[in-house]
């Protein structure tokens, strides 16, 4: 939970961190179109195929993925349209989103204390698991689970890039045993979930996704209205994030984060359903991780 003590620094740090959004590489046409689809704009099968085919690197990676052991079929898949028909538009959209965002982050010059590879691996793992859990549960805005998982920690990236000196202080305090959110708040007066939510707002992503990333460490504080049988997306993100951390797939080797791998058991799935999800998650993560480094 975010501490209530007064921050030691001025609020100009928030502006510095957010300003770095404008210095990130621009979204590709594919990424813009796919993110727009999360705001209920139509993305047709043919349009998506056309966009992917205009990007040779993306096409090559996608065909490599669909011909991997994860989707083993007799005979090779050699066209984007065939890959679309095999995976379906949602799974293919998630794969392309993950590859596009990872490629964008890899263009960013990061400080020595930040590993973009670890960030990409953690984010993609959370995205895959959040999406799989949301498919088995009644989750508010389940269609945004993958991208919310992919971007839930972008606030940490903004702190590392825009507030490099402060980020070093946060890491040192965290190594000394203080919880990450408390370290961030004490040093900067803000936390990475706040910055993540502001980044999603900047990119015009839907409010349910903004709320989910804002409360992904504190889902009990999430005021999102849900039905009696629904699970908040923030709760799914929290469980996925902690499970992934418990696997050792964390953003920083030095940073200590919550890593309760049993939290996924509280979401309401039967033991059999949960084991199926986790088995499928590990297989898909292993197959896709090569494209998210």
Q: Can you give the residue ranges of every domain in the chain?
A: 1-9+113-293, 25-107
pLDDT tens track for 60-79: 888 888 887 777 665 688 88
Query: How much is the mean pLDDT over the chain?
Result: 86
Angstrom CA distances, 236 to 107, 152, 186, 215, 268, stand at 30, 12, 27, 11, 11
Work out the angle at residue 173's Cα, subtended by the Cα atoms of residues 167 and 177, and round it to the nearest 5 degrees: 135
Q: Among all chains, which residue has been given the structure tokens 């504190």?
A: 218
Give the number of other CB atoms < 10 A from CB of residue 93. Answer: 22
pTM: 0.88
Alpha-carbon distance of 97 to 117, in angstroms, equals: 17
Alpha-carbon distance of 1 to 219, in angstroms, equals: 10
Fold of 1-9+113-293: Hypothetical protein af1432 (1.10.3210)
CB 51 within 8 A of CB 29: yes
pLDDT band at 91 (very low <50, low <70, confident <90, very high): confident
- Highest mean pLDDT: which of 74-83, 88-97, 106-115, 150-159? 150-159
Work out the angle at residue 132's Cα, subtended by the Cα atoms of residues 249 and 264, and round it to the nearest 5 degrees: 65
pLDDT at 34: 78
pLDDT tens track for 106-123: 889 888 889 999 999 999
pLDDT tens track for 193-221: 999 999 999 888 899 999 999 999 999 99
């Amino acid at each position: 939970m975010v501490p209530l003590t007064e921050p030691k620094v001025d609020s100009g740090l928030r502006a510095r961190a957010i300003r770095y959004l404008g210095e990130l590489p621009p979204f590709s046409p594919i990424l813009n179109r796919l993110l727009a689809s999360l705001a209920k704009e139509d993305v047709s099968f043919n349009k998506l195929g056309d966009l992917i085919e205009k990007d040779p690197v993306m096409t090559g990676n996608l065909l490599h993925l669909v011909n991997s052991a994860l989707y083993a079929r007799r005979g090779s898949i050699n066209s984007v349209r065939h890959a679309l028909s095999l995976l379906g538009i949602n799974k293919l959209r998630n794969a392309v989103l993950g590859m596009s965002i990872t490629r964008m982050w890899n263009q960013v010059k990061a400080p020595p204390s930040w590993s973009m590879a670890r960030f990409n691996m953690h984010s993609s793992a959370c995205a895959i698991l959040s999406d799989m859990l949301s498919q088995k549960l009644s989750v508010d805005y389940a269609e945004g689970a993958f991208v919310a998982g992919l971007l839930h920690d972008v606030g940490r990236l903004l702190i590392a890039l825009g507030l490099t000196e402060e980020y070093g202080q946060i890491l040192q305090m965290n190594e000394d045993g203080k919880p990450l959110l408390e370290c961030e708040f004490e040093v900067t007066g803000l936390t990475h979930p706040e910055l993540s939510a502001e980044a999603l707002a900047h990119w015009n992503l839907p409010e349910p996704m903004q709320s989910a990333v804002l409360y992904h460490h504190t889902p009990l504080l999430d005021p999102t209205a849900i039905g009696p049988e629904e699970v908040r997306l923030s709760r799914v993100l929290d469980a996925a994030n902690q499970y992934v951390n418990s696997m050792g797939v964390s953003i920083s080797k030095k940073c200590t984060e919550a890593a309760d791998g049993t939290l996924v058991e509280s979401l309401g799935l039967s033991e059999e359903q949960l084991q199926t999800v986790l088995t499928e998650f590990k297989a898909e993560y292993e197959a896709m991780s090569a494209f998210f480094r």
